[in-house]
Amino acid sequence: MDENLENAAQEFERKLDDAAENAWKSVKDSAEQIEGEIVDASETVQGGWNEVKDEFHKASAESWSAPEVPQTPPPPQPETDRWGSPVNENANDPNRWDGSLYTPGADEPAAAPKVEGAPKVVDYVAASSAKPPKKESFPVWAIVLIVVLVLCLCVLCPILFIGGGVLSYFKDMSSIMPFLMI
Domain regions of the chain by residue span: 1-63, 145-182
**pLDDT number for residue 129:** 64
Give the integer Cα–Cα distance in Å for 54 and 149: 91
pTM: 0.26
Mean pLDDT of 124-145: 76
Could you report the per-residue pLDDT of 141-166, keeping only the tens digit for each? Answer: 999 999 999 999 999 888 888 888 77
Give the integer Cα–Cα distance in Å for 44 and 56: 18
Amino acid at 36: G
**pLDDT number for residue 128:** 63
Beta pairing partners, 110:
101
Do 103 and 109 touch, CB atoms closer than 8 A? yes
Going by the DSSP 8-state scheme, the letter that residue 94 receives in this structure is T
**pLDDT number for residue 6:** 87
Dihedral (CA of 165, 166, 171, 172) sign: positive
Give the integer Cα–Cα distance in Å for 155 and 149: 10
pLDDT at 59 over 80: no
